Amino acid sequence: MSYASVLIQFLNGLASASSLFLIAAGLSLIFGVTRVVNFAHGSLFMLGMYLAVALAPGVGFWLAVPLAALAVGAFGAVAESLLLRRLYRAPELLQLLATFALVLVIKDFALWAWGPEDILGPRAPGLAGAVTIAGQRFPAYDLFLIALGPAVLGTLWFLLKRTRWGMLVRAATQDRDMASALGVNQKGLFTAVFGLGALLAGLGGALQIPREPATLGVDLQVISDAFVVVVVGGLGSIPGAFLAALLIGEIKSFCIGLGFSKLTLVAEFVVMAAVLVLRPWGLLGKVRAEVRGAGALEPPLRLPSRGALLGLAALFAALALLPALHAGYTLVLLTDVLLFALFAVSLHFIMGPGGLHSFGHAAYFGLGAYGAGLLVHKASASMGAALLAGPWLAALGAAAFGWFCVRLSGVYLAMLTLAFAQITWSIAFQWDAVTGGSNGIVGIWPSPWLSGKTAYYYLTLAACAAGIALLWRVCYSPFGYALRAGRDSPLRADAIGIDVRALQWAAFTFAGFFAGLAGALYAFSKGSISPETLSIPRSVDGLVMVLLGGIQTLTGPVWGAALLTWLQDAVARGVDYWRAVIGGVILALVLAFPQGAAGFLRERFAR
């Protein structure tokens, strides 16, 4: 690589860093003040792109960009005041869920408004050409982007450090209750900060249109990139976001420039891992003091009554007898319900007793599915061998990622798990030779004796019931108690000799194994797998199941899985814009039952 091409790659990296910075800065700013991790931030970026593409033919590119950014900012402010404002007192997880519902709604809005095809944007008038740098041609527009990043950093710095409004924002970031007690108008401040963050995301998106087409898939890609940047830079630190954006932007650029574009993810992963091991709170983040008694008070876990056990046994018996009465599509749907119930229970195992809020549990579901599928496809393994081996691949993946994850907690953990899931997805999506890329793997059928719907239903029922029963039982074991002890009070757990991290790591791996089992069963039930199997929406499905059912109860995730699977099936078949419908339903449920459905029922009727 010559000196000149090194320079060009370096400049390329700076240009992408600017765009990464815009989105990460907004995310960080919003989190700092409202303590909400805005999942929909990538969607706001996407909205900025589409709006700019749509406006540019009419008003010209240079006017379209600020207009799109302002429109997205206004949308953010409205969404905050109508929706999120009602949820600031709700548990953190439900806030995240609400912002994810926004992701679904915005995606379908974009689909409805602009259609499924990618739309190419205009070149920037005046900067459409290239300049010659060290004998190589470099887009003039990218030079503009390079200058923009530091300009925005400077503006934000001025706004936060030198204005009265910025002082209020910083005060609220440090201690919002105190700021409120001193008479700061929280409502207005929160709405304004959310609007500003959204504006930055919209600006980032709008500025991106001369470089890449507007596309529907960009939202989740951007949000996971932004999470990586924020985790590396330190949550709440704007200069940290800038530094991390530079680092990640350069790494991506050099990996692509050197012809190792497939190594990009690996390099990104290595950097993130190194930063997290050396500085778990990010490059410029502040060490967060352990919050005492933070979050909602966890409910006790009582041994089930005889009646409850009988009820579960009766449910199992009914499920076992069902094929005799009814066959056909119901069994296919119930097979899905069962394996998603196992998936949801495995997620609940780490989220409830473990207190580890994973936003990327589908990675292990997908690893199980791909592990089983690849064994059948590449090694012509039998179904039995594949079903047994798939979960082990998932456990291996969970052990590798979990080692990093258990070093973090709270929203950091959520972001990191999501980033790992996105990395796993990208590998499945990009590694054509092994995973079949976007087409996935087809022809994963069960052994002949299990190929009937009824036979496969029985296999799924047996495996899932056993898995769920084991996961539940472990909650009552010394291991489960120690896990809850680490969640309730890490300080006390450490003081009575409990190695909290090691336990959490083991629990993460254990849960990964069962998510993998669900994934392997899924692969054989569908006959094919694609990267969808481990995409972020699947992870969020798991979260929705757990939270809809109520995280406080052991059985909640099962009801949540049944409800969501049925809902998706019923809605996806009948409605074009089913994502928006599901998003709307989630929003309605979150607003109506901030404690989850089972939690609501219990509170309502247990007195």
Residues that bind another protein (CB under 8 A): 292-293, 297-301, 303, 473-474, 476-482, 484-485, 487-489, 491-499, 503, 506
Structure tokens at 581: 């419908």
CB of 203 or CB of 500, closer to another protein: 500
Token reading at 504: 């959490």
Q: How far is the CB of 293 from another protein (least distance, A)?
A: 8
For the purposes of burial, counting CB atoms within 10 Å of the CB of 592, is it exposed (0-12), middle (13-18) or buried (19 or more)? exposed
CB-nearer residue toward another protein: 286 or 492:
492
Q: Which is nearer to another protein, 356 or 444 (CB)?
A: 356
Task: Give the residue among 498, 483, 490, 153 at the shortest CA–CA distance from 288.
Answer: 490
- Token pair, residue 194, equals 């959310």
Nearer to another protein, 70 or 474 (CB): 474
Q: How many CB atoms lie within 10 A of CB 308?
A: 13
Please say which residue, 317 or 502, places its beta carbon nearer to another protein. Answer: 502
Vertex 241 angle, CA 21 and 45, to 5°: 35
Three-state DSSP class for residue 212: coil
Pick from 537, 536, 599, 523: nearest CA to 568? 537
| Of residues 490 and 584, the one with the C-beta less far from another protein | 490
How far is CA 1 from its chain centroid?
A: 37
Q: How far is the CB of 395 from another protein (least distance, A)?
A: 15
The least distance separating another protein from the CB of residue 545, rounded to whole angstroms, comes to 22
309 Cβ contact partners less than 8 Å away, ≥ 6 residues apart: none
Task: List phi, psi (to 5°) of 151.
Answer: -65, -45
What does 227-263 look like in DSSP terms, one character per residue? HHHHHHH-TT-HHHHHHHHHHHHHHHHHHHHTT-GGG
Question: Least Å distance between CB 478 and another protein?
Answer: 5
Min separation Cβ 515 and another protein, Å: 17
Minimum separation from the CB atom of position 352 to another protein (A): 10
Scanning the structure block, which residue is given the tokens 């007898």?
Answer: 321
Nearer to another protein (CB atom), residue 131 or residue 491: 491
Give min distance, CB of 300 to another protein, in A: 5
* 35 contacts 188 by C-beta, under 8 angstroms: no
State how far the Cα of 215 lies from the Cα of 394, in Å rounded to an integer. 31
Provide the minimum distance between the beta carbon of 199 and another protein in the complex, in angstroms, as a whole number: 41
Query: Which one, 278 or 297, has the nearer CB to another protein?
Result: 297
